[in-house]
Structure 1
Amino acid sequence: MSSQPRTTPNPATSKVLGALLGVHAGDSLGATLEFKPWRMIRTKYPNGLREIIGGGSFGWPAGHATDDTDLTRAVLLAYLDRSAHAQTHTTATPAQPFDLTRTAADHCLSWYNGDWPGRTPGSSPRDIGGATDTGLSNYEASGNPLTSGAGPDSAGNGSLMRCVATGLFTAGREDRIKESKAISAITHNDVRCTISCAVYNEMVAALLAGKTPAEAVQIGCEVASELDCPAVEAALRRGEEVSLEQFASEGPASDFPDWSSGYVLQSLSLAVAALLDARSFEDVLVDVVRIGGDTDTNGAIAGGLLGAREGVEGIPERWLEKLQFREEFEEGVRKMLG
């Protein structure tokens, strides 16, 4: 990582950077404890794990991206490609239609097939969710990202973890919702997943626009209602009721089992609870991870909202300096925001 000093970004840029690097930080912090239950974490880390140290079930180097950040990068690359495509055309040479969904699927497939930074060329991912594996395998076989999803009974959190770029770089609710759903459906086309991504990105966009966390959650609830998805709206309301600090210190309630299955609505509820927790980015994210289970993905999803709330300055520098894609994400944001 570069040791050169960085200038403080303006508030809007800070929130965009905060969201992307918040996903990365939550992923990298949680990777150490993935699949571990709350009781085991409490015994080893009574005050929570507060440093990015790597290791875990897959032996990650400290700060290395897992599938959560890798696939967030894949979607970000699609938005960078769209921006570059638009800039190469003028009114005299109109742009040909740009297929954002296919481009995102192609970048995900590159990751799937080992064409990725930090990987041996052609190697398989160390960690991949079942629906993601099925969806990308289907896409590779059919070439059609509109029909590749794992099906209506696969409601994991593997598309919610990667979706934040849409909330950051697409203007207008209608377009954000359309893109959120389409990019989710490459692998996760269950309505609970596609609507969760749409709702999440509306909350991200609201935070960028200066809305309070409570206002952002209310906007999410309105979108879930408009899209006729009571299950997602109920997950948002559940998050409003959760005391994250209590869950972390006393153990999760019965409907948040120690050994999380990676259920998308559980992750969404935890992310809302994190967003509404007024403590610092560090304290909140440490407690998200303390709950156990799918710690890297829950950390990534919550970290994106917290980063959009706090800005990049809210993320501890000692965490940022370890993140594999920090400089690339910073450069990508500079390109997108000028």
Structure 2
Amino acid sequence: MTDRSDRTVGALLGVHAGDALGATVEFDSWEYIRFRYPDGVREIVGGGVFEWPPGHATDDTDLTRAVALAYLDPGDDVVLAAARLMLSWYEGDWPGRVPGRPPVDVGGATEGGLRTFARTGDPDGSGAGPGRAGNGSLMRCIPTALAVRERERRIRESVRISAVTHSDARCTVACAAYNEIVAVLVEGGSAAEAVAAGVAAARELGERSVVAAIALGERLDLAELARTGVTGLPDDGNGYVLDSLALAVAAVLDFRDLSDVLIDIVALGNDSDTNAAIAGGLLGARDGASSIPDGWLSVLQFREEFTGIAAEFARR
């Protein structure tokens, strides 16, 4: 039996675990993964194109950490605090990195947004504009859902933190809808109730493409996708924000255990770590940290820190 505290911890660690599981085969094809891992990637073993140590954070987890830390000490503006922490990550002031060495895995829109913020100091005017709709803000947005209980403020800050790097409405509204799903889940609502809350937020913000992506996710059968490699997604799960949102919705509506669902998402390949991180956040919020295999948890770089951050969010 899970409680709100366990689900809050689960949301953060679900992002971390999905990220670390998928990093092994990031950018690989379904065909290659099927050949190399016929039963799926079932353990967090590291490696991949960037040769990650097992459980090491990629940009997905690192930037989630940046947003989470901003909510612990927001100052006058949590969005400004988040932008500054993300810039610290980009400039090499980050655990597990040689000081001053930039990340190896920064996305184009994220890099552009952070470089603009470094020049202007304005977090509200730095993001890539319309036409840049990658999943780089959706992957890091979950701390807002865990830290903010007031719906209006939660939606507003979801949009603004996305727009530091990703200001296309598909990105900002996807973050708001995703965080409404998380907020219902951590309070003990059902997956169906949570998805309905996400749809309501997307409709309220007037972004029909996000509504359509959620509807697509409601129709996807992840076990079948993993078996055939045929996703039916607009960009085949290769970094488009609405592909990642649809997969996450499919994941949270899947009745199976968190591990089985994430293994199937990773099996699809392409942007496997980010897709699994985004889905892992919803699954962890649904099922709690107790649903994540001990063997996965034991190697996560920020396990203890994320557990402490989530405990503070739950206490507040």
CA distance in 2, matches of 1:40, 1:225: 39
Q: CA deviation at 1:219?
A: 1.2
Q: Is the 8 A contact 2:4 2:314 kept in 1?
A: no
Partner of 2:267: 290
Structure with bigger gyration radius:
1
Q: Please tell me whether residue 21 in structure 1 is matched to residue 4 in structure 2.
A: no
Alignment partner of 1:110 out of 84, 88, 94: 88
Which residue is 1:79 aligned to? 71
Q: Mind listing any 5+ residue stretches in structure 1 that lack a counterpart?
A: 1-7, 86-97
Residue in 1 aligned with 2:313? 336
Alignment pair present for 1:52 and 2:44? yes
CA distance in 2, matches of 1:337, 1:15: 9
1:122 aligns with 2:100: yes
Could you tell me how far apart the structure 2 residues matched to 1:121 and 1:252 are?
Answer: 42
Which of 26, 33, 56 in structure 2 is aligned with 1:34? 26
Distance across 2 between alignment mates of 1:334 and 1:205: 16
Instruction: Name which of 187, 191, 194 aligns with 1:216.
Output: 194
Q: Percent same amino acid at aligned positions? A: 56
Partner of 1:146, secondary structure, is helix
1:263 aligns with 2:245: no
Name whichever of 328-337 and 298-307 sits farther off: 328-337
CA distance in 2, matches of 1:48, 1:266: 21
Runs of 5+ in structure 2 lacking a partner? none
TM-score by length of 2: 0.97
Residue 325 (structure 1) aligns with: 302
Q: Cα–Cα, structure 1 residues 203 and 254, in superposed 2: closer, same or farther, change >3 Å?
A: closer
Query: In structure 1, what is the Cα distance between the partners aligned to 2:166 and 2:138?
Result: 9
Alpha-carbon distance, 1:254 to partner: 4.2
Q: Which amino acid aligns with 1:68?
A: D
The aligned runs of 1:88-103 (5 Å cut-off) are 98-103=76-81
C-alpha separation in 2, matches of 1:314 and 1:291: 22
Deviation of 1:256 (Å): 5.3
**In the alignment, is the contact (CA less than 8 A) between 2:9 and 2:311 conserved in 1?**
no
Q: Counterpart of 1:79 in structure 2: which amino acid? A: Y
1:45-64 deviation digits (Å, cap 9, x = unpaired): 11110000000000000000
**Are the structure 2 counterparts of residues 257 and 185 from structure 1 closer, same or farther at C-alpha, using a change threshold of 3 Å?**
closer
Residues 257-277 of structure 1: per-residue CA shift (max 9 Å, x gap)? 55x430000000000001110
Which amino acid is 1:269 matched to? A
* TM-score, normalisation: structure 1: 0.91
1:222 Cα shift?
1.2
1:176 corresponds to 2:168:
no
Q: Which runs of 4+ in 1 moved over 4 A?
A: none
Deviations 1:145-202 (CA, angstroms, capped at 9, x unpaired) = 1100011111000000000000111011101100000000000000000000000000
Alignment length (residue pairs): 315
